[in-house]
Amino acid sequence: MQFRYLGNSGLKVSSIAYGNWLTHASQIDNDRANRCVHAALEAGITTFDTADVYANTAAETVLASALTGVRRESIELCTKVYWPTGPMGPNDCGLSRKHIRESIAGSLKRLRTDYVDIYWCHRYDFGTPLEETLSALADLVHAGQVLYLGVSEWPVAKIAEAHALAAEFKVPLVASQPQYSMLHRSIEAEIVPTCAALGIGQVVFSPMAQGILTGKYAPGQPVPAGSRADDPNGGAAMITRWLKRPEVLERVQKLAPVAADENLTMAQLALAWVLTCDNVAAAIAGASRPEQITEAAAACDKTLSPETLARIDAALGDVVERDPSATGASPLERPA
């Protein structure tokens, strides 16, 4: 496993991180989740990413159970706050001081830990003054409940504003978690250069475009049985936008010979491509089977040549999303 510094901090993360967004307590049972986590540990992965909203808090509990017996100091445990959880009352979401304090208390209890290494603001909250949010987060850092701060899918201007406030409060805002893949490159124009200048590193999600870049979804063919697109509890809705575009599926198939020439699977090619970005500290990979995370981890030390990167660009052509506005938008009003 390769390890990279996160932004300008002293924290190192495994370049392949394990995430349980659509799997734990949703797509797979607890026994399989346990085996996937142990496969990640055996592959050298130390960074584990979850969120309070995943499976309405249950994913945190499953991850904690799977990590039983693991030395806490040997891993980086990360979770998130923003989206509604629990009974979903008017204050059960957002980035208010109240919700942040209550959310971290719940996450720490479920994760069976005294602190999290990275606490992500899962979206920007237009309903709460940014100074209130950063003040509440600073309190958590100063209390030792959170070591580093991150944002996920925030507008670029708000990232810069939050970074300035974090400096005033003397807390480390050093991480951003956006969607990023060969097919979805909306962060390259604005987010990446801004974050690089500020000392913020990327820990990206969906590096395989919800599985599209594995090549398993052939144009004009039924989705494979047992795949994410076939499982209503495993994120079928998330992958639909790609499946509705046959031109994307056709272009992705053109990556097969590129992967073969590099002695990589298509999934490994997708991960290796993401890791060519200097501002990316880690790519989050999920798994519904242990062998998937083992395969993903093997991509960590593969360097792609400029010629290979050019072949990838030529294969995908104009189906790549590059519009900066395609970076996930935060709701203007809190979800209920």
**CB contact at 8 A, 324 and 117:** no
**CB contact at 8 A, 244 and 234:** no
What is the DSSP secondary structure assignment for residue 324, as one 8-state letter?
A: G
Write the DSSP string, 49-115.
E--TTGGGGHHHHHHHHHTTTS-GGGSEEEEEE-S--TT--TTSSSS-HHHHHHHHHHHHHHHT-S-
Alpha-carbon span 285 to 22, nearest angstrom: 11
Alpha-carbon span 245 to 64, nearest angstrom: 38
The contacts of residue 228 (CB under 8 Å, 6+ apart) are 22, 27, 210, 211, 234, 235, 236, 238, 239, 288
Write out the catalytic residue numbers. 54
Q: Which residue has the tokens 């490994």?
A: 268
What is the DSSP secondary structure assignment for residue 298, as one 8-state letter?
A: T
Cα–Cα distance list, 269 to 45, 260, 330 (Å): 18, 9, 30
Alpha-carbon span 130 to 100, nearest angstrom: 13
- Give phi and psi for 81, each to the nearest 5: -140, 140
The contacts of residue 167 (CB under 8 Å, 6+ apart) are none
